[in-house]
Amino acid sequence: MFTKTGLILNRVVTSYLFFHSVMHVSIAFISIPVILGFTPLIIFQLAHTIEGNMFPRPDADKGNIQNEWAIYQAETIANFVQVTN
């Protein structure tokens, strides 16, 4: 019973039986993952879609980018830090 489905059922059934109503558990079970998934989605989308980001062009023949994935991420992500002199 230690599978992912078993653990989810354990949490839901325990919540139903001992602590909260079926409606409250259902609302929480649906809304919490949506909220927790939507927050990083907004943050990471903003980091890549605002003006001023430079994206390297892939090779014309193979379609590959010359740098590795981590270097590509560091070059294309926005810097939200304000530099003050």
Residue 42's pLDDT is 87
| Pick from 57, 17, 39: nearest CA to 9 | 17
In the three-class reduction of DSSP (H, G, I as helix; E, B as strand; rest coil), residue 22 is classed as: helix
Q: Flag whether the pTM goes above 0.75.
A: no
Q: Which residue do the tokens 């653990």 mark?
A: 7
Residue 82's pLDDT is 65
pLDDT tens digits for 7-63? 777 777 777 667 777 787 788 878 888 888 998 888 888 777 777 777 788 888 888
**DSSP character for 64?**
-
**Cα end-to-end span (Å), the chain:** 59
Q: Answer left, alpha or beta for residue 63, where phi above 0 means left and psi between -120 and 50 means alpha.
A: left
pLDDT tens digits for 73-84? 877 777 766 667
